[in-house]
Amino acid sequence: MGVPEGYSSNIKNLVSLQDSRLLGLKSHDCHTLMQQLLPVAIRSVLEKPARWMYPFERYMKVLKGYVQNRTRPEGCIAERYIAEEAVEFCTQHLSDVSTVGVPSSQKMGVSKPLSGCTVSVVDQDLLNQAHLYVLENTEEVLPYIEQHMIHIKTAYPKFRKRTKWLQDKHNSTFIQWLRFKVQSELEEDNNGVSENLRWLAAGPNMAVPLYRSYLIKGIKFNIKAQDDVRTTQNSGVYLLAQTMQVASAKDKNPILSNMGFYGVIQEIWDLDYQKFTIPVFRCDWIDSSGLVVDELGFTLVDLSKIGHRNDQFVLASQVKQIFFVDDPMHRGWSVVLSMPNREYNDVIGDEVLGDVIIECEPFTRGMPNVDTFDELVGELGGQNIRDGCEDIWIE
């Protein structure tokens, strides 16, 4: 099992097979095991149904800590809760204000290559695919996208209501249309075309630098080939994007909705636009047929089912790092785990991490859909209730 760099210690080196013990765990490693790794392993041996209780028990401890006057527990809890809520709203309101006297992490916001590059002349179709994704995710280009869609509807009035056809036509013609459009505007006086838009419309260089490792906003990303020869795993990515969803291959009017995509980085490109560069990831994205969410809220993926071949690229700044752990219950499937907040890297030392419960999120954000205990007893006749306190041995 490989985890992202800086996520935790190398668990393999902390396991003693002679006496079945874990040795040398730091406090952060304990949180990682309890909140993320152990739930994945234990779910394969628990009797069904399993009730997810630790968030409630943990929050009960928080509420009990609010009580200073035991004769008035409700009032103490209410006052402390209101005070913390007010502080939380203040921090959200001042989130964009620079702090005074608190050092900020030097790595946060930094993006740079961490390996040597190999300059390669890539396939023109792949280059156009990456360039189109950059254009469609640039704010300055959005007005031109709207103009181009109007132009297509005017030129092809018979297809005005066929959303998928219009989108395919836009994807195949927008790059060349934008180049001629910007060139014609540059010939006019007081055209208002910015320097960035000028070079974006001209397109990237055919010779693309390819990297094996890249630092994006303080987080290290590797290509899959680099992870295969290392003990860490830094090639998993997650993207939440608005996309067209179709009911079938004959569906001519798909709907737009937000959808999560899970993928593995295969190549890191640094597109050269003469005056600036834009790093993008070429990923193998998991097809929707290889993605399920189980009854406990775990996201499972089949890494062998690759889809979205015509849309492989993503801006490096858009993705969130994730990693995959082999599912002990289903062969060939992997459990998706997310990375915790890493803003404490340069502020707190390795030995004393303090209270990292907030930074290290639990294995799932949402509550699973489970029935109440009384309903389960009535429906199942008590067959899943253990009266004793027998231990469950995990080999």
pLDDT of 25: 79
Please give the Cα distance from 194 to 298 (Å, whole number): 46
Task: For residue 218, give the nearest of 105, 117, 314 by alpha carbon.
Answer: 105
- Establish how many alpha carbons lie within 13 A of residue 30's alpha carbon, considering only the half-sphere containing its beta carbon: 10
The answer to whether 321 touches 234, Cβ cutoff 8 Å, is: yes
Identify the residue with better confidence: 393 or 82.
82
Is residue 18 domain-resident? no
User: What is the pLDDT of the chain when averaged over all its residues?
Assistant: 80
Q: What are phi and psi of 259, to 5 degrees?
A: -145, 140
Q: State the DSSP string of 11-59.
A: GGGGEETTTTEE-S--HHHHHHIIIIIHHHHHTTTSPSSPP--HHHHHH
Is residue 113 domain-resident? no
Is residue 147 domain-resident? yes
Q: State the DSSP string of 163-222.
A: HHHHHHHHHHHHHHHHHHHHHHHHTSTT----HHHHHHHH---SEEEEESEEEETTEEEE
Task: Report CA Rg, the chain.
Answer: 26
Is residue 382 domain-resident? no
Report pLDDT digits (tens) over 301-328. Answer: 999 999 888 889 999 999 999 999 998 8
Please give the Cα distance from 366 to 362 (Å, whole number): 10
**Domain containing residue 82:** 56-95
pLDDT of 333: 92
Tokens representing 229 are 């020869």
Is residue 161 domain-resident? yes
Is residue 220 domain-resident? no
Please give the Cα distance from 323 to 235 (Å, whole number): 8
The answer to whether 335 touches 320, Cβ cutoff 8 Å, is: no
Q: In this structure, are 137 and 194 located in the same domain?
A: yes
Q: In this structure, are 147 and 187 located in the same domain?
A: yes
Report pLDDT digits (tens) over 202-217. Answer: 999 999 999 999 999 8
Report pLDDT digits (tens) over 155-205. Answer: 998 888 888 889 899 999 999 999 999 999 888 877 788 889 999 999 999
**How many distinct structural domains can be found in the chain?**
2
Report pLDDT digits (tens) over 268-304. Answer: 999 999 999 999 999 999 998 899 988 778 899 999 9
The pLDDT of 256-260, averaged and rounded, is 82
pLDDT of 350: 39
pLDDT of 364: 46
Identify the residue with better confidence: 349 or 60.
60
pTM attached to this predicted model? 0.72
Tell me: pLDDT of 27 over 90. no
Identify the residue with better confidence: 232 or 245.
232
Is residue 233 domain-resident? no
The pLDDT of 20-43, averaged and rounded, is 79
pLDDT of 173: 94
pLDDT of 373: 36
Q: In this structure, are 90 and 132 located in the same domain?
A: no
Q: In this structure, are 141 and 188 located in the same domain?
A: yes
Report pLDDT digits (tens) over 93-124. Answer: 877 777 666 555 555 567 888 988 999 999 99
Residue 381 backbone zone (phi > 0: left; psi -120 to 50: alpha; other: beta): left
The answer to which of 48-57, 281-290, 293-302, 356-365 has the lowest mean pLDDT is: 356-365
The answer to which of 60-64, 78-82, 244-248 has the lowest mean pLDDT is: 244-248
Identify the residue with better confidence: 20 or 232.
232
CA dihedral over 207, 320, 5, 336, signed as positive or negative: negative
Is residue 181 domain-resident? yes
Q: In this structure, are 66 and 128 located in the same domain?
A: no
Is residue 14 very low, low, confident or very high in pLDDT (cuts 50, 70, 90)? confident
* Tokens 């927008």, located at residue: 174
Please give the Cα distance from 199 to 273 (Å, whole number): 6
pLDDT of 33: 80
Is residue 31 very low, low, confident or very high in pLDDT (cuts 50, 70, 90)? confident
The answer to whether 386 touches 51, Cβ cutoff 8 Å, is: no
Tokens representing 394 are 């995990």
Tell me: pLDDT of 371 over 70. no
Query: Which of 148, 178, 205 represents a domain boundary (last residue)?
Result: 205
* Residue 343, C-beta contacts closer than 8 angstroms, at least 6 positions apart: 105, 108, 359
The answer to whether 213 touches 115, Cβ cutoff 8 Å, is: yes
Q: In this structure, are 129 and 177 located in the same domain?
A: yes
pLDDT of 383: 42
The answer to whether 168 touches 156, Cβ cutoff 8 Å, is: no
pLDDT of 118: 92
Q: Kindly report the length of the chain.
A: 395
Please give the Cα distance from 64 to 59 (Å, whole number): 9
Tell me: pLDDT of 238 over 70. yes
Tell me: pLDDT of 377 over 70. no
Q: Show the beta-strand stretches assigned E in the chain.
A: 15-16, 21-22, 112-113, 117-121, 207-211, 213-216, 219-222, 236-245, 255-272, 277-286, 291-293, 299-301, 306-307, 313-315, 320-326, 334-338
Query: Which of 174, 205, 236 represents a domain boundary (last residue)?
Result: 205
